[in-house]
Amino acid sequence: MASYYGAVERALPRNCSSDWVAVTKYLDGVLLGSDTTEQIRVKRALYVARMSRPNGNTTLVKPLSNAEILAIPSDNVVDVLMDPLINFQVRSGFTTILR
């Protein structure tokens, strides 16, 4: 995935790419760190964000326990960050990276 992120980062406007790098570094630090309270907070927020996207419905969000939230693989959590990148690609015509 690093090559994908690198290509998308280069295509983003500079102000967006620096924010993207900062978010990625923050999430790496949280998800690879030992602060389970922060991992739960971040994973829960991203889980709800995915369900809140356009046409989403947060009333369908299953109330998960902290243990269930921690059990969500970090790859699944980080996948939520792909949503805005895919939207950017589609809007900008930068779709060949997906193929």
Q: Which tokens go with 18?
A: 């620096």
Nearest partner of 39 among 62, 9, 71, judged by Cα: 71
In residues, how long is the chain? 99
What's the structural domain count of the chain? 1
| pLDDT value for 99 | 43
| pLDDT value for 36 | 96
| pLDDT value for 45 | 87
Using a cut of 0.75, tell me whether the model's pTM lies above it. no
What are all long-range contacts of 1-6, with beta carbons under 8 Å and residues at least 24 apart? 4/97
Nearest partner of 48 among 37, 63, 61, judged by Cα: 61
Quote the domain boundaries for residue 51: 2-98
Most confident region among 57-66, 72-81, 83-92 by mean pLDDT: 72-81
**pLDDT of 19 above 50:** yes
